[in-house]
Chains A and B, each alone.
Chain A
């Protein structure tokens, strides 16, 4: 099985994600991610982006568009051989679900 370039770049990806997390505050509370394969077997990076409740309301569209764009420009997933997938949740939703993958 062919591995993406990203496998050797995990430290760089981690640093870049932590930097993005800081830059995107207060709309973004935290960013978690995994690298794996999607349903067709393509290598992918799955971002879980926790948003503040304010950012998850009427501004959700604008905030999500911006986060996706910043991820595309800064992490450059395609160049790492990864398809980026972003999921957004609000702080309120997460505090109810207490999903460990989002903590």
Chain B
């Protein structure tokens, strides 16, 4: 199973643990795993276009969280699937940041289930749109510097 699918499965697993009283550590890690599932889905989709396979791991290091968020936030697309992928990325990144760094923030299972479900929807949307030219242009924009 690809790494991003494993991460999404892990997020779902963590969110279901501790049936009666969920532990914050599991909910936080679930949010983080759900975000990284999206992050690696997009990176894998981009670098898999690179013909020389041994260089793909190095290329994947060119992706930066903040840059990707900016591209997703500024995306203007009439394609509902692509817009949904971009919006979900932005939302999950913000939540991942809070889950990993804001210890005062309390998470609940409903919040976490909702975010994981959003990522699942985004995965499905990406499956529908990924081969279209605008999705491929979007992937390129995620790591190529903007023209000035």
Contacts and interface: CB of A to CB of B under 8 A. Distances in A.
B128 interface: no
- For chain B, the bracket of interface size reads 20 to 34
A90 B108 contact: yes
A97 interface: yes
Interface in B28-59: none
Contacts of A86: 91
> Chain B interface secondary structure, helix, strand, loop or mixed?
helix
B117 A60 contact: yes
Contacts, number: 47
A61 B118 CA distance: 8
A85 to B, nearest CB: 6
Interface in A35-49: 38-40, 42, 44
Interface of B: 66, 69-70, 73, 90-91, 93-95, 97-98, 106, 108-111, 113-114, 117-118, 121
15 contacts: A38-B94, A40-B70, A51-B110, A56-B110, A60-B114, A61-B117, A64-B117, A83-B73, A83-B94, A87-B114, A88-B114, A90-B108, A90-B110, A93-B110, A97-B106
